[in-house]
């Protein structure tokens, strides 16, 4: 919703209805997904399904949200931080692997652990 209506929370009735419909469409398109593996059908219970058209976009939006929240781009010891879906690459100026991980661990993706 940060990008909806240029970052301004909708207040007019029609804008609120549009936002509500948009969120409902996202929920319908990404919940109770059925997948097939070796001719057996499964209900995906958690997470985004790979192969769903909007999964990469949604994963990137979630990653952007957490990157913004922790201000990783303002850390002078990290001249480069890049991410695509669930892959993260960073250049960190430190004297040890432990120090580098300590700086990167400021990025928190809810239950996801960055190694």
Answer yes or no: is pLDDT of 94 > 90: yes
If you average pLDDT over residues 28-49, what whole number do you get?
Answer: 81
User: What domain range is 84 assigned to?
Assistant: 53-104
Sole residue written with tokens 């070796």: 38
If you average pLDDT over residues 19-41, what whole number do you get?
Answer: 84
Report the number of distinct structural domains present in the chain. 1
Smallest CA-to-CA distance from 107 within 1, 94, 97, 87 is with 87
pLDDT bucket at 114, cuts 50 / 70 / 90:
low
Q: Specify if 85 maps to a domain.
A: yes
Q: Specify if 46 maps to a domain.
A: no
Q: Specify if 40 maps to a domain.
A: no
Answer yes or no: is pLDDT of 1 > 70: no
Mean residue pLDDT across the chain? 80
Q: Specify if 39 maps to a domain.
A: no
Q: Specify if 98 maps to a domain.
A: yes
Q: Specify if 115 maps to a domain.
A: no
pLDDT at 91: 92
If you average pLDDT over residues 21-40, what whole number do you get?
Answer: 84
Q: Specify if 71 maps to a domain.
A: yes
Compute the distance between CA of residue 90 and CA of residue 81 in angstroms, rounded to an integer: 4
3-state helix, strand, coil in the chain (%, to 5): 40, 20, 40
Answer yes or no: is pLDDT of 79 > 70: yes
């Amino acid at each position: 919703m940060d990008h909806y209506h240029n970052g301004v929370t909708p207040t007019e009735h029609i804008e609120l209805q549009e936002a509500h419909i948009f969120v409902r469409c996202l929920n319908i398109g990404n919940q109770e997904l059925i997948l097939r593996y070796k001719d057996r059908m499964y209900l995906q219970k958690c997470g985004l399904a790979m192969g769903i058209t909007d999964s990469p976009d949604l994963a990137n939006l979630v990653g952007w949200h957490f990157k913004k929240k922790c201000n990783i781009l303002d850390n002078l010891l990290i001249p480069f931080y890049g991410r695509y879906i669930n892959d993260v690459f960073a250049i960190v100026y430190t004297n040890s692997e432990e120090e580098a991980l300590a700086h990167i661990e400021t990025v928190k993706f809810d239950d996801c652990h960055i190694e």
